[in-house]
Amino acid sequence: MDKLIVHANAKINLFLEVLDKRTDGYHNIETVFQSIDLHDTLIFKEQKAGVINLSSDNKDLPLGSSNLISKACELLLKESDKNYGVDIQLIKRIPIGAGLAGGSADAGGTLIGLNEFWELGYSIGDLVELGKKLGADVPFCMIGGTALGKERGDSITKLKPLSNVYVVIANPGFEVSTAYAYASLANLGLTRSKKNGNIIVDDINNSDVLAIAKNLYNAFEQLVINEHPIIREIKAEMQNLGALGALMTGSGPTVFALTDDISVAENIKRKLESRVRFCVISQTSNHSIIKA
């Protein structure tokens, strides 16, 4: 194969609760993931054996061994015991360190893309198990759609698709460390009263977008708002402009608004885009990795 192009979709969390700390240092969580059609693009081209070349249009992105695309390449070569090469060009649209799982999406896209590009023959189940070694969000970013995540977030149960919902994404332009967010939450005490995700799962099964929007929840949100009040301001403006609901995704700082009305989405974007670094209208998607 001379060339392969895949699109790797971002995710938002419609619900996110942190339960308890695990013996492996991670936390057990309960979350409802949703793919959106905001995506990065990965272009795979032939390269001589043993040479992995990664490039990107985003100059702020580290391209060395710490990059999840590089780690995915190394993992797949080790697992397959091959010495193949590849040239990977990354067109970056998902903001970095934004709570949208851009790095995890790129890693998942790399595993799925290279499996086809190198004709390795792994099943999606095999690739998802490999993805767990790269990060807790990687399995969902390979499965996609609407799904319930448990354990580290990497035990995935598909839910009924949430279709035709507009998602306005607003990123204020700074990063929030996931490790910092978990440490701050632990300082509050993991014995605090926990929210149950069953309500929003029922709303999804009933295709009740208004109820979903009313039951959005993120355990990290108030902690991050305490440090960065602009997140509260963005949420309030989204809701004042007619969003059905708004929430910070992941460990932040990106905030999303849900609406079933494109004119509302366009108005929110118009009013917010001068105040934030990144603002786009996206839509819910039932896919994660898409071949172009």
Catalytic residues: 11, 137
d(CA 179, CA 181): 5
Question: What are 250's two structure tokens?
Answer: 């992941």
Please choose, from the candidates 86, 96, 6, the residue with its C-alpha nearest in 3D space to the C-alpha of residue 43. 6
C-alpha pair distances (Å), 268 with each of 150, 206, 260, 274, 284: 32, 27, 13, 11, 17
Q: What are 89's strand-pairing partners?
A: 43, 55
Beta strands in the chain (DSSP E): 3-21, 27-45, 52-56, 86-91, 146-150, 155-158, 166-171, 217-218, 245-248, 255-259, 278-283, 289-291
SS3 20: strand
SS3 208: coil
Q: Cβ contacts of residue 150 below 8 Å, gap of 6+?
A: 28, 29, 30, 31, 157
Q: Helices in 56-121 by DSSP H: which ranges?
A: 68-80, 102-117
Q: What are 8's strand-pairing partners?
A: 40, 289
Q: Cβ contacts of residue 179 below 8 Å, gap of 6+?
A: none
